[in-house]
Structure 1
Amino acid sequence: MKSAVFRPALSKATRAVSVTIAVTAALAAGLSVLAGTGAQASERPEQLVLISFDGAHDNRLWRRSLEMADRSGARFTYFLSCTFLMSKDERKAYKAPGHSAGRSNVGFAQDTADVLTRLGHIWSAYQSGHEIGNHGCGHFDGKSWSKADWMSEFNQFDAALENAWAGNGAEPPAGWTRFARTGIKGFRAPYLSTGEGLYAAMRAHGLSYDASAVSNGPVPPELEGPVARFALPLIPEGPRQRPIIGMDYNLFVRHSAGIETPSKSEEFEARALDAFRSAFDAEYTGERRPLQLGFHFVEMNGGAYWNALERFANEVCGQPEVACVTYQEAMRRLKPADGSAS
């Protein structure tokens, strides 16, 4: 015969105390779980958004971009072509590797007044926390250039920037020389066309990062080594969600075969904005890898892509846990070990 299990009888008061203790313990456990969830949420990396402009010449678009930044709180990176710091009369001062003096695929500044206005925008941008980067000078395809060729291009960029005020008959503002000599840390190759000669020259010239690569979707930058590498991502776009480089020119070619079609500007703007939003949402709710978008100082298809950018920046740059920053600032915020935001 099995022994009976002894269970002492509990009074109503004892049972009430026991229930109270159990409920309190359950609540405490629940709060602990919630607290842990909150801690984990707060440890999520911030979503970095890197918006950049190539060329940085049209003074009207300089004004528009700086006004856009003031409204949205974004800080941009401007990859400058140095021939826009030289008037047409001074064009012979520039000689690209393999080309005759005075040649440029993107032209030169109209005149001295045009240069001085641009210099004012560059200085205002830099003082406001934006970044000025190197886009070379004459926008030539340098994939086959040697290290020496690229060193020549970089040296001409530096000289054009440092001497731009004096070369156009004006006194540089205090601090300009220091900025010109030490403030340029990044580079984007014209046509995103790179080669071994470029990377060897970047190392020798002391540049910190290259932003010329393309990746299959957003990826963390490669921060190891003497020159960090950032990549413009392929992002889904259009009714069929086909991948495309997150850059206005690529959208321009897809939407209208590179032919200006302002009559469809609103349609193209809506498609671009949808693509930017989707790419952002995927990262913001997912792994939060930095999202990079590139633009030019040209309003293609009736300004469709600048209009989309303006709406996008106004929407996302003020959201919680989002920072629209320059490339240099992104490098400061990212952990070199794993590429995640700190």
Structure 2
Amino acid sequence: MPHLSRVIAFSIAVFAAGAAFADPPAPPAKPKQIVIISFDSARDISQWQRSRALAARTGAHFTYFVSCVFLLSPETRKEYTAPGKTEGKSNIGFAASKQEVAERLEQINLAASEGHDIGSHGCGHFDGKDWSKADWLSEFGAFRHVLENAYSINGIAAEPKGWRDFARKSVVGFRAPYLSANKALYEALPAAGFLLDASGVSRGPVEPPTVNGITRFSLPQIPEGPSSRRVIAMDYNLYVRHSGGFERPSMAEEFADRTYNAFRAAFDAQYQGKRIPLELGFHFTLMNDGAYWNALERFAGEVCIKADVECISFRDYVSHAREPQDAVQNVGG
């Protein structure tokens, strides 16, 4: 007959093992949900101010893809020559005056000082689908020349200390006008010192791959409207979907609600699921009486303030993603 102490010891061991099986380790915590909000061309001064105010309220950081022609006045427009064009040509015009350029430069400075990301949208908003690598490099060179020398080109006094260093080193992202990319673009981007491109389109949110040193982001197609048809998550595409690209201010509230609902559903799907980054794109144009900006402010006001959500820029996303790689590379010198 087994000794009583052995029976007790065996019973305790069995109970302890059972307890271990009954209380498994907690699952790993989900990563924070990333939302990346960006603006193309970035012309209107009041929209610079409005977007920066939204960021201040919500803790968000945005990416502004600037078109360099808006840093040239009618008098200085010939500083820019697009590939295959004569000097001083642009698809989107130029700044209205030297004063407007000065105000825009002030907004760029303020946004950068607040932690926002200044990216390149090229200069003249031409479709580069047929451009060569040399053409793209010419456009990138024009952008950097105009940005770096914007104060002197336009005769604006009091260039901020460090401006040229900022212009040379801080612009690491690009988005092609019309989202029109080609093979030559991806050959030119690393040669021009860029780290990321945001010209892609995908069916739903996707993790951005890094190819040849360029992290490639894609605006997702998200379900929208009564029939849940997919549309690129950008205000212009919603504008065309809703009103054929024509203003219908009487329906602005309906369009804003549809847009908000589409954004929120796309966010919730990731927030409750795999937490793939969600990208949303905008312009400074108030289409359909500001419906899309109204939806943006409602959406960002709800989600960007969540403790497990980060509304960050493309640059910051790439910087955070590359930190572990940099740490590994630095081990052992």
Residue 29 of structure 1, CA deviation: 6.0
Quick one: which of 242, 253, 262 aligns to 1:255? 242
CA contact (8 A) 2:176 2:199 kept: yes
Q: Quick one: distance in 1 between partners of 2:161 and 2:55?
A: 24
1:273 corresponds to: 260
Q: Quick one: distance in 1 between partners of 2:297 and 2:21?
A: 46
Q: Quick one: distance in 2 between partners of 1:331 and 1:94?
A: 30
Residue 332 of structure 1, CA deviation: 2.3
Identity among equivalent positions (%) equals 52
Q: Quick one: distance in 2 between partners of 1:278 and 1:174?
A: 44
1:291 corresponds to: 278
CA contact (8 A) 2:63 2:118 kept: yes
SS at match of 1:52: strand
Q: For residues 225-245 of structure 1, give each alpha carbon's deviation from its aligned partner in whole angstroms, at most 9, with x where no partner exists.
A: 221111110111001111110
Q: Which one has the largest radius of gyration? A: 1
Residue 203 of structure 1, CA deviation: 1.8
CA contact (8 A) 2:78 2:88 kept: yes
Please, what is the CA RMSD of the aligned residues? Answer: 2.4
TM superposition score normalised by structure 2 = 0.90
TM superposition score normalised by structure 1 = 0.88
CA contact (8 A) 1:140 1:190 kept: yes
Q: Quick one: distance in 1 between partners of 2:216 and 2:307?
A: 27
Q: Does 1:135 align with 2:121?
A: yes
Unaligned 5+ runs, structure 2? 326-333
Q: Quick one: distance in 2 between partners of 1:197 and 1:225?
A: 13
Quick one: which of 133, 142, 145 aligns to 1:156? 142
Q: Quick one: distance in 2 between partners of 1:145 and 1:259?
A: 31
Q: Quick one: distance in 2 between partners of 1:201 and 1:26?
A: 61
CA contact (8 A) 1:224 1:336 kept: no
1:90 corresponds to: 76
1:60 corresponds to: 46
* Alpha carbons of structure 1 residues 87 and 29: separation in structure 2 relative to 1, 3 Å: same
2:318 corresponds to: 331
Counterpart amino acid of 1:84? F
Q: Does 1:194 align with 2:181?
A: yes
Alignment of 1:1-342 (within 5 A): 32-33=23-24, 36-37=25-26, 40-42=27-29, 44-168=30-154, 169-334=156-321
CA contact (8 A) 2:40 2:284 kept: yes
Q: Quick one: distance in 1 between partners of 2:102 and 2:21?
A: 66
**Structure 1 stretch displaced more, 153-162 or 224-233:** 224-233
Q: Tell me how many residue pairs correspond in the alignment.
A: 322
Q: Quick one: distance in 2 between partners of 1:242 and 1:191?
A: 21
**Structure 1 stretch displaced more, 166-175 or 297-306:** 166-175
Residue 45 of structure 1, CA deviation: 1.5
Unaligned 5+ runs, structure 1? 1-5
Q: Quick one: distance in 2 between partners of 1:328 and 1:172?
A: 25
